[in-house]
Amino acid sequence: MSSQTLNHFDDEGRVHMVDVSDKPVSAREAVAGGLVLMAQSTKRRILSGTMKKGDVLSVAELAGVLGAKHTSFLIPLCHPLPLSHVSVKCEFLESDDDANARLSITATAKTTGQTGVEMEALTACTTAALTVYDMCKAIDRQITITEIRLLQKSGGKSGDYQAAP
């Protein structure tokens, strides 16, 4: 089957979960990243610990882990996977833009199985970003979530992938 084939559809055009039962088990890892843009004043409040809803970065990282664990409930055709590791890291980047602070979110997911963990890493990253928005929206409605993408993956038949910088 070519990589261009839409394998979530059967020969009659009906949607189905891809059958991975004949695929070999292998170690798989995926890393996703994204950015949350916000006002500098919001960044200062997060770093000073003065947000009313609590420790924004710790809660976002935990939410990302939970998001990865629930991916198959959110994305209809994802296989439920036994995740062996999920980590989410939120850190502010230096910025030349005085108006906007940039929060980088990086999520890593690992498993040993018959299908990859890209969706779990992407869901972790997205869930963490949405949590930042939720915890800060009362003081900054201009928060923007952007550039969520797969950064790298390893394992499986299609091999390794590394996104362009």
DSSP string, 80-99: P--EEEEEEEEEEEP-S-SS
Residue 165: its pLDDT value, please?
85
Q: Which of 22, 55, 134, 160 is an active site residue?
A: 134
Residue 105: its pLDDT value, please?
98
Confidence of residue 18 (pLDDT cuts 50, 70, 90): confident
Residue 80 CB partners (closer than 8 Å, separation 6+): 72
The total number of structural domains in the chain stands at 1
Residue 13 lies in a domain: no
pLDDT mean over 32-44:
97
Q: Is 97 a catalytic residue?
A: no
Residue 19 lies in a domain: no
CA angle 114, 120, 121 (to 5 degrees): 115
pLDDT at 4 over 80: no
Element (H or E) spanning 65, and its range? helix 56-69
Per-residue pLDDT reduced to its tens digit, 74-117:
999 999 999 999 999 999 998 776 779 999 999 999 999 999 99
Residue 87 CB partners (closer than 8 Å, separation 6+): 65, 107, 108
Residue 5: its pLDDT value, please?
62
pLDDT at 158 over 90: no
pLDDT at 156 over 80: yes
Residue 71: its pLDDT value, please?
98
pLDDT mean over 43-49:
96
Higher pLDDT, 93 or 23: 93
pLDDT at 146 over 80: yes
Residue 9: its pLDDT value, please?
81
Element (H or E) spanning 66, and its range? helix 56-69
Residue 37 lies in a domain: yes
Residue 6: its pLDDT value, please?
55
Residue 159 lies in a domain: no
Residue 51 lies in a domain: yes
Residue 10 lies in a domain: no
Distance from C-alpha of 131 to C-alpha of 90, rounded to nearest angstrom: 11
CATH code of the domain containing 84 = 3.30.70.640
- Cβ 151 vs Cβ 117: under 8 Å: no
Higher pLDDT, 108 or 159: 108
Residue 14 lies in a domain: no
- Domain, as residue range, for 98: 26-154
Residue 18 lies in a domain: no
Distance from C-alpha of 159 to C-alpha of 25, rounded to nearest angstrom: 13
